[in-house]
Amino acid sequence: MSDRKYRQHGYQDEPRQPRREQSAPVKREYTPRGQPPIAPKTFSMPGFREVVKCVRCGYELTVATAWSADGTCKRCGSFLHTCAQCANFDTSAAFECHKPVPARISPKDVQNLCVEFEPRTTVERETTSAGGPGGAGASGGSSATGGSSRARQAFDDLFK
């Protein structure tokens, strides 16, 4: 026992056989299962579109209505040719406009004849189905009753 460096019980009680040198396993290239793809996958991503909306109620406006100097919103009746509806409107800029204007126009939600006016557009995702134009409530009529009944019917159809 004196030939051991450590005298604890169990440390090298019996001599071991030397380990065999094993070669590293051969790496295989990844092989996909099934048929190889003929062409790359194309994803059905929704499209995007630019829309002009009323700043007061969020109603989607037509381009002709948004650009006209005397246009009003069909839903809430507010004026559309206002500073609040303009793309250059910024509360942190001088006279609250990005364009150089000679004087501050106040109030910002009243119709004016500013020559720098551009309707504010937003980019939003296409969410309408291919089945019909517009979505629920796009007709502007009694969307509270007609839209909810169509939505309820579509929900009930899922569980048939």
Under the banding of pLDDT at 50, 70 and 90, the label for residue 134 is: very low
Tell me: pLDDT of 139 over 60: no
Answer yes or no: is 113 within a domain.
yes
Q: Is 143 helix (H, G, I), strand (E, B) or coil?
A: helix
Which has the closest alpha carbon to 94: 103, 85, 106, 83? 103
- What residues are paired with 158 via a beta bridge? none
* Omega prior to 107 cis, within 30 of 0: yes
- The reply to whether 94 falls in a domain is yes
The stretch 101-127 carries a mean pLDDT of 85
The tally of domains found in the chain comes to 1
d(CA 82, CA 86): 6
| 73: containing domain | 48-124
Residue 31 forms part of a structural domain: no
- Of the pLDDT bands very low, low, confident and very high (cuts 50, 70, 90), residue 141 is very low
Structural domain includes residue 151: no
**Is 144 a member of any domain?**
no
Q: Is 60 helix (H, G, I), strand (E, B) or coil?
A: strand
Q: What whole-number distance in Å separates Cα of residue 155 and Cα of residue 148? A: 10
The answer for 116, left when phi > 0, alpha when psi is -120 to 50, beta otherwise, is alpha
Asked whether residue 12 is assigned to any structural domain, the reply reads no
Burial 2-15 (b: 16+ CB within 10 A, else e): eeeeeeeeeeeeee
Residue 97 CB coordination number (10 Å): 20
Confidence of residue 67 (pLDDT cuts 50, 70, 90): confident
100 found inside a domain: yes
52 domain residue, yes or no: yes
